[in-house]
Structure 1
Amino acid sequence: MPEHTDERLDAPFAYTVTRRTLLRGGLLGGVGLAAAALIGCGGDDDDDDEQAPAAQATAQAAATAQAAAQQDDDDEDEGGAQVAVTDEDVEDEDTVATIKRAEGFTTEAGRFVPFQIPEPDKPVKFGGTMTQRFTFDPGPLDPAIAAAGGTMTAVNIMYNRVLGVYSGWDSDPYARNDLVPELAESWEISEDGLTYTFNMRGDVKFHNIPPVNGRTLTAHDVKFSWDRYKDVGSPHRSYFLQVASIDVVDDQTVAVTLNQPTPDFIYPLATAYTTVHGPELADSGEITSNAIGTGPMILDHWTGGVGGAFDKNPDYFRGPVKIDRWELPLVRDAAAGWAQFRVGNHDFGMSAATSDELENILETNPETQYFSAPIFASTFALNFNLDLPKWEDERIRRGISLAYDREEILDVIYSGAGIVLPQMDWRFFWEDEPSVENGTLGNWWRHAPEESKKLLAAAGAEELEFDLVYYNYSNTSNSLQNEVLIDQFRRVGMKLNANAVDYTEYNSQWTTRSGESESFDGWASFSPTADHYVFGLNHSGSGGNRNRINDPEIDAWAEQHQVELDPDARTELARNVWNKVLDQVYRIEKPSGYAAYLQQPWLRAVRYIRPIGSGHFYLDTGYEAFNAWIDK
């Protein structure tokens, strides 16, 4: 379940993006960090479920594009926003293709917001305190019992993972699952895909604090942690469902045997949800209120209703930590957060939700750094309750989709500053960003009101009326979009009754798949694995399939996809699922908008806004703690 956040709260999260196409760009209107709560701060589904080496983004090119975009506003389309692209040769497996890659977007005010910004060519400075506006109430510190941002933010500052993803400031904004060693210095996968062997570093020490006292981490700690995650009570259990055994070969080697080949098994081991901890605090029961890890920072305090603070680990195995301290004061009120940022008390933790908001902060703080991230999947969708006979006729679902004017909503809500994509991250399915023009969005992802009327009439649903239940996570994501939907559907003779309910009531229906409403304005969680988008969102037996798709063909493809080791065959299975979901219109996705994330001019090497599997997810706090330095 997503964490409850105010629509104006800015928690460092971002979406991911687009290739080989010119995107319409612009500034997010409100979904910004409320979406952080949706995708990885809360429910079991956050952990339902990858990153191959990718070409690194050219930060200097982005900076050049930013300067060029601001020179001449006359180049912009009237009333809209644009995305700057570059043609570059990208080698993708055995194919070399020219890809139009978005480097950022231009706001309604004509300001270019890049997806990457350069860092100064100057020596790193050591010392100082980094302060982030924090919007999640600090929670228990046991990584095995919680998935919320109020837990995982702190956990990842203090603990490490067996594997990591490349997390340098210069990482490609398009990167996904670029696996690198972390606690393990190497790993092997057996030819049959059943055994994973991890060779641990021998120089990693826990924080030098009783009762752990700086001892060396061993394979026994890895087994201990993963066994706890495997436990039926852990929200991270789904990562380990196919694990038959976890065995310590020796002090530096741990082997995992699976029940069946699971190509995606390795990727969650590099996420924020599978950090490694020792048995000492767990055995004593202190692990919910204390943390002693191997990470870059050591706990000073973590207090509900107040926030937290951490001091640098002087013995960090990856090398010297540059900052002395990281403070995370709990500041939920957006106005208070802006005030603290304007006077320089907060280094980051704010995002501009509108073009005007960005211009206002730059008017008083012109040296503020700002950047964004691409989008690869929509967060919200109109989800039919497919348990109901009302939706059995696919002509009705298709007719509704044809009545839906996606471009109008983008213009009205985001001033053209966003994109509509399926909730399935397209990078796991296609080389190119999906579009109506290239055929990957199917026949019903277009606006054709007259055709909509004919389909509805043929299905005996000329005056279709149905209810939609939603919680207003943000005006732009939910209530305002729903108002436009009501009007669009009215134009073809339908009546949509959009009913706002409170947070608890909404999620008690949506996340449990028990709600009786005819449709839901439902969110989807994000993941680093293809399995989540193929099986997790669509298989009849998956808890993440919240609109209750029950399609035997999809089930068979998704089950085979889980165990298929041949990459080409696996991709074909994934595409089968994608195409069937879109052809049957099992849900109708809503637009997502871009956000501009803000940092003080002296903060260096922090990115912290990209999706899971990027190395800069909003819970990848350990990477940001290690990278960050203060240039003053």
Structure 2
Amino acid sequence: MATASWKPIYASRPVTRRRFLAGSASLAGAAAILACGGEGGSNTRLETSVERKPGAILYTRDSYQWPDETSGAVDGGVYPGYVDTDNTAGFDPYLGASAMTISTDPYEFLLRPNYGPGIKPGTDAHNERIAHLAQSYEVSGDNATFTFKLRRGVKFHPVAPVNGREMTIEDWRESSKRFMEIHPNSPNWNEVVDKVEFPDAQTMVVKAKFPYFPFLIRMIDEDFTFTIMPKELHEDGKLAATTPIGTNYRMLDKYLPSATQEYKRFDGYWQGKPYIDRWNLPIIPEYANRYSQFMAKNIHSFIPKMTEALKVHQEAPEALMIANVQRDGIPRAIFGKWEAATAPWGDPRVRIAMHRSINWPGILDFMTGKDKFSAAGIEVDTVFTTHVPAEANYWLDPRKSELGQESENYLYNVAEAKKLVAAAGQPDGFELPLVAQTTSAGTDVWTLYLDEARKGGVVMLVPEMMQNRTAYLDRTTRTAEFKGMQWFSGGSTHGDVDYVLFRNYHSSGQASAYTNPKLDQLIDSSRRAVSWEKRLPILRDIQLEAARLWPVQLGEHGFSDWRFEWPWLHNANQQPYQYWLGQDMPRRNG
């Protein structure tokens, strides 16, 4: 098997060489000091913890063990955060904004996920959906009718023309109607839902076109369902685009493009008044600036490059070092529908060869600096990427040959990749348009992937860059109306694997280029399953068929990034309105 050649190529580039050497030096230096205990020190290594104390090394998978700190809560304070990208899509969440942005932040769903102290991930309690803006919900025995009751006493933000009035069923009605009419992700909902009825002033009834097992799971997913906006905003699109008015615990107080976003607490929040007074979020796109602001304690958190995490831990020894890995994700790139059948990559052998020619395990080791962390006594949590999330109750591991001979399709082997493209009539390789946002170019993964593709000699990538995010999503992720392959997305399955299975692997999916009748039948069966027990074997069969068809291209293996936080925030494993700031926080009042 050929050895990786991208390390010297990567290091030879002027800009990335500095990043590479700086990261390598910081890792090596940190590991050496940690292993030796510094000058004249002991041979102690770093230890992980489940207690959020200064300097602790934590994993979010253990956050359910963090205690409830409400009894010691102190009111007031200004949270010093940041955002790394400016708002370019306006304030209307129904016009295609992504999750966790200035346009979606004021609004809430009917249900919410269940998390907090004592609620362990993967348990039945954790998988439950909690009534939120809905007071309660019921499900019919055939998983085809879903009834939601309005929660009384929920008020909108005191902003004209809504002026803090109480939420009514008319807000639900107009939200569902406008979502189905204009939201870019409404096809996901409309494909499942037959009709939405409002039999009285307290009730909304959703009737599905067929029994749909994942419905409640996906009722927290912006790519499937709607948040609640006041009817006044639905009646005036210009108002919705300029004035966010929701029910959430904080409301926008100030927005300066390219400068800052500031929020103030909503004292009339239906779950209770938040503890924190204000949230100041300056827009800081530059990595070096974020780092310097964090070290000066002007912002609460910072996410460094993996290669610099140990160095940051040395330089900020009192900060919490928190690892988070996305286990429900499938980092993937969809293929475009244009010329999908006639292009060289229309042959599944070619799509498989593309994956096998990329040294993803080597890229993982390089990106994580895994050996250096191990030397320091720190585990780097990783996830092997396949066509379904690595959920323990149904995932099949190719490294253990759990998919039979199809397991090989996921494993790096350039020689076998070249045999596959030769058998498909492309012995000299082929050109492939790679559609991406301009923000992707120059990232470490971008550089490594393009270098690895050149080395493999299977595919010659021709980048086509797009600047506007909404236009990019409309062309690629939401419709697949292009030729070639898009750049890899972050890969979340938004709560349930059906998001990806139907959207990208089914012939009726919103953005699917490569499907077949067998995969359609399996996905349909998964959606109609009456229980998890009935669904699990179907999901395993879907993995086997996806390994043969290769409907999307797979990206990097998942790994935990490290987020550093000053130990000022309490109740960090609860709902955000329950967060509070410690009295020892510097400049607590701004």
> Relative CO higher for 1 or 2, CA cutoff 8 Å, sep ≥ 6?
1
Match among 454, 460, 463 for residue 428 of structure 2: 463
Q: What SS class does the counterpart of residue 399 from structure 2 fall into? A: coil
Q: What residue ranges of structure 2 are gaps of 5+ in the alignment?
A: 1-18, 21-30, 37-44, 51-55, 371-379, 585-590
Q: Deviations over 1:200-238 (max 9, x none)?
A: 222222234443333322222222211111114554453
For residues 517-564 of structure 1, what are the alpha-carbon distances to aligned partners after superposition, in whole Å with 9 as ceiling and x for unaligned?
A: 4x554436532233212211211332332xx10322212322343334
The residue number in structure 2 matching 1:595 is 561
Alignment of 1:390-429 (within 5 A): 390-391=344-345, 393-416=347-370, 418-427=382-391
AA of the residue aligned to 1:422: T
Q: Could you tell me which residue of structure 1 aligns to residue 91 of structure 2?
A: 141
Evaluate the alpha carbon distance shift between residue 446 and residue 126 of structure 1 in structure 2; reply closer, same or farther with a 3 A threshold. Answer: same
Say if 1:242 and 1:258, in contact at 8 Å, map to a contact too: yes
5 Å matches for 1:230-241?
230-241=180-191
**Partners of 1:216 and 1:625 in 2: CA distance:** 19
Cα deviation 1:292-327 (Å, max 9, x = unaligned): 322211331234323321211222221231101112
Q: How many residues align?
A: 510
Matched residue of 2:93: which SS? coil
Counterpart AA for 1:603: L
Q: Which of 425, 429, 443 is residue 475 of structure 1 equivalent to?
A: 443
Q: Does structure 2 retain, via aligned residues, the 8 Å contact 1:470–1:498? A: no
SS in 2 for 1:154: coil
1:247 matched to 2:197? The reply is: yes
TM-superposition CA deviations, 1:336-378 (whole Å, max 9, x none)? 2222211122123x2111232x233333322111212223334
Shift of the 267–222 alpha-carbon distance from structure 1 to 2, 3 Å rule, reads: farther
- Other structure's SS at 2:255 match: strand
1:446-493 deviation line (CA, Å, top 9, x unaligned): 244554455455555443344352543553322212212332x2xxxx
Aligned to 1:5: none
Structure-1 residue corresponding to 2:179: 229
Out of 73, 87, 111, the residue aligned to residue 163 of structure 1 is 111
Q: Distance in 2 between matches of 1:435 and 1:496?
A: 24
**Pairing 1:180–2:145 present:** no
Aligned to 2:78: 129
* Amino acid in the other structure paired with 2:460: N
For 1:321-400, list aligned pairs within 5 A. 321-348=274-301, 350-356=302-308, 358-376=309-327, 377-381=329-333, 386-391=340-345, 393-400=347-354
Kindly indicate whether the alpha-carbon contact (under 8 Å) linking 2:146 and 2:207 is maintained by their aligned counterparts in 1. yes
State the partner residue of 1:21: none
Letter paired with 2:271: R
Please name the residue that 2:397 is paired with: 434
CA, structure 1 residues 326+572, in 2 after alignment: closer, same or farther (shift >3 Å)? same
Could you say which residue in structure 2 is the equivalent of 1:318?
Answer: 271
What RMSD in Å do the two structures reach over aligned CA positions? Answer: 3.7
CA pair 261-331 structure 1, distance change in 2 beyond 3 A: same
State the AA in 2 paired with 1:315: G
Aligned positions of 1:51-90 closer than 5 A:
73=35
TM-score by length of 2: 0.75
Q: For structure 1, which segment, 527-536 or 163-172, has the greater mean C-alpha deviation from structure 2 after superposition? A: 163-172
- Please tell me whether the aligned partners of residues 378 and 420 of structure 1 are also in contact (alpha carbons under 8 angstroms): no
In 1, are the aligned partners of 2:149 and 2:204 still within 8 Å (CA)? Answer: yes
Q: Secondary structure at the match of 2:94?
A: coil
CA 1:553–1:631 in structure 2 vs 1: closer, same or farther (change >3 Å)? farther
| Larger Rg, first or second structure (1 or 2) | 2
* CA displacement at 1:596 relative to structure 2: 0.6
Q: Give the aligned partner of residue 544 of structure 1.
A: 511
- Among 220, 226, 231, which residue is 1:279 paired with? 231
Bigger mean CA offset, 329-338 vs 253-262: 253-262
Give the direction of change, closer, same or farther, for the CA distance of 1:554–1:155 in structure 2 (3 Å limit).
same
User: In the superposition, relative to structure 1, how do residues 177 and 224 fare at CA in structure 2: closer, same or farther (>3 Å)?
Assistant: farther
Closer, same or farther: CA 299–256 of 1 in aligned 2, 3 Å: same
Q: CA deviation at 1:174?
A: 5.7
The amino acid of 1:515's aligned partner reads F
Q: Which residue of 2 aligns with 1:9?
A: none
Tell me: CA distance 1:209–1:535, structure 2 relative to 1, closer, same or farther (3 Å): closer
Conserved 8 A contact 1:268-1:274? no
1:247-266 equivalences under 5 Å are: 247-266=197-216
Q: Deviations over 1:426-449 (max 9, x none)?
A: 43x844563421514723222445
Q: Distance in 1 between matches of 2:486 and 2:103?
A: 33
Deviation string 1:75-127 (CA, Å, 9 cap, x unpaired) is xxxxxxx99999xxxxxxxxxxxxxxxx9xxxxxxx96523454586611111
Name the CA distance, whole Å, in 2 between partners of 1:190 and 1:237: 23
- Indicate the SS of the match to 1:344: coil
Aligned mates of 1:473, 1:626 — CA distance in 2: 39
Query: Do the aligned residues in 1 keep the contact of 2:178 with 2:234 (CA within 8 Å)?
Result: no
Contact 2:251 2:263 in 1 (8 A): yes
Query: Aligned partners of 1:463, 1:283: CA distance in 2, in Å?
Result: 58
TM-score, scaled to structure 1: 0.71
Task: Work out the CA distance in 1 between the residues paired with 2:208 and 2:473.
Answer: 33
CA contact (8 A) 2:307 2:369 kept: no
Report the 3-state secondary structure (helix = DSSP H, G, I; strand = E; otherwise coil) of the residue aligned with 2:102: helix
Question: 1:523 matched to which residue of 2?
Answer: 489
Distance 1:143 1:507 in 2: 15
1:597 to 1:326, Cα distance in 2 relative to 1, 3 A: same
In structure 2, the partner of 1:627 is: 579
Measure the CA separation in 2 of the matches of 1:601 and 1:522.
34
**1:567 and 1:503, CA in 2 relative to 1: closer, same or farther beyond 3 A?**
same
Task: Using the TM superposition, give the Cα deviation of residue 257 of structure 1 relative to its aligned residue in structure 2, in angstroms.
Answer: 2.1
Give 2:568's aligned amino acid: W
- C-alpha contact (below 8 Å) 2:145/2:208 kept by paired residues: yes
- Alpha-carbon distance in 2 for matches of 1:470, 1:148: 19
Matching of residue 201 in structure 1 with residue 151 in structure 2: yes
**8 Å contact kept, 2:333–2:552:** yes
Which 5+ residue runs of structure 1 have no aligned equivalent?
A: 1-27, 30-68, 75-81, 87-102, 104-110, 608-614, 616-622
SS in 2 for 1:160: coil
Cα separation, partners in 2 of 1:277 and 1:514, compared to 1, 3 Å:
closer
Output the CA distance in 1 between the equivalents of 2:200 and 2:480.
Answer: 44
Q: Which stretch has the larger CA shift, 407-416 or 327-336?
A: 407-416
Percent identity of the aligned residues?
19
After superposition, what is the alpha-carbon deviation per residue over 1:30-89, rounded to whole angstroms, capped at 9, x for unaligned? Answer: xxxxxxxxxxxxxxxxxxxxxxxxxxxxxxxxxxxxxxx999859xxxxxxx99999xxx
Matched, 1:114 2:63: no
> 1:193 and 1:594 mapped to 2: Cα distance?
36
Q: What one-letter code is carried by the residue in structure 2 that aligns with 1:437?
A: K
Relative distance call for 1:486 and 1:182 in structure 2 (3 A) is same
Relative to structure 1, the CA distance from residue 336 to residue 85 in structure 2 (aligned partners, 3 Å threshold; closer, same or farther) is closer
Q: Deviations over 1:278-305 (max 9, x none)?
A: 2124335422222332221133123432
Question: 2:250, 2:350 → 1: CA distance?
Answer: 55
**Residue 310 of structure 1 contacts residue 327 of structure 1 at CA under 8 Å; is this kept in 2?**
yes
Higher helix share: 2
The offset of 1:397, in angstroms, is 4.3
